[in-house]
């Protein structure tokens, strides 16, 4: 599948490392995905014993799902749209709370081929929420076609989740 490999370490290996880290420390994770449409959770689910750590996932492609299911502020969505750091952060917090997980990760952006919400293709935001900490957020400007952009976002989401867990828990 196209979303698995990018760079020197493929997304399957990244997901294995993340699942193992979560299992070792008794932590759980949930995903809220717009741009990636479930690819982050799919890569995690492919890892044996992922059911021990993955609480659930929400594919929130439309703004009403972001608002009504994940609790993203409706005024924020109306004023700034879905493709911004604040929305990504609220998605990550919302899915973490909704699924009662220790960690929530979120993806939003535009893979192309056309711009959306005033953002060019390749604009992506990943966020990771951990307990009461402010979400870690990365705004990305990526190159490539739609599949390549989505693959890169999966990579960055997995990396951000692992880095956030290590940094905030002292692991």
Enter the pTM of the model: 0.94
Q: Of the candidates 153, 132, 130, which has an alpha carbon nearest to the alpha carbon of residue 143?
A: 153
Q: What is the mean predicted confidence (pLDDT) over 46-62?
A: 97
Q: Of the candidates 130, 129, 92, which has an alpha carbon nearest to the alpha carbon of residue 108?
A: 92
What tens digit of pLDDT does each residue of 4-48 get? 444 445 999 999 999 999 999 999 999 999 999 999 999 999 999
| pLDDT, mean over the chain | 93
**The domain defined by 11-169 carries CATH number 3.90.950.20:** yes
Q: Is the pLDDT of residue 158 over 50?
A: yes
CB 49: neighbour CB atoms within 10 A?
Answer: 10
Give pLDDT, residue 9.
59
What tens digit of pLDDT does each residue of 62-76 get? 999 999 999 999 999
The token pair at 23 is: 């299992």
Length of the chain: 171
CB 7: neighbour CB atoms within 10 A?
Answer: 11
Helix axis angle, 146-169 relative to 11-24, nearest 10°? 20
Helix (H) or strand (E) holding 5: none
Tell me if 31 sits within 8 A of 19, measured CB to CB.
no
Alpha carbon dihedral 85, 152, 34, 56, in 10-degree steps, equals: -100
The token pair at 6 is: 């990018």
3-class DSSP state for residue 115?
Answer: coil
Alpha carbon dihedral 154, 156, 158, 159, in 10-degree steps, equals: 160
Q: Of the candidates 97, 152, 95, 147, which has an alpha carbon nearest to the alpha carbon of residue 124?
A: 152
The more confidently predicted of residues 132 and 9 is 132
């Amino acid at each position: 599948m196209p979303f698995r490999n990018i760079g020197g370490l493929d997304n399957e290996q990244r997901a294995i490392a993340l699942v193992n880290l979560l299992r070792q420390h008794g932590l759980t994770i949930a995903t809220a995905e717009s741009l990636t449409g479930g690819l982050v959770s799919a890569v995690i689910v492919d890892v044996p014993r992922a059911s021990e750590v993955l609480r659930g996932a929400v594919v929130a492609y439309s703004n009403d799902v972001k608002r009504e299911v994940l609790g993203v502020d409706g005024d924020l969505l109306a004023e700034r749209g879905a493709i911004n750091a604040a929305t990504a952060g609220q998605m990550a917090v919302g899915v973490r709370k909704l699924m009662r997980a220790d960690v929530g990760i979120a993806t939003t952006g535009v893979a192309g081929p056309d711009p959306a919400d005033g953002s060019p293709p390749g604009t992506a935001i990943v966020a990771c929420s951990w307990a009461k900490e402010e979400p870690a957020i990365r705004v990305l400007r990526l190159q490539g076609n739609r599949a390549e952009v989505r693959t890169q976002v999966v990579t960055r989401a997995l990396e951000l989740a692992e880095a956030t867990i290590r940094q905030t828990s002292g692991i």
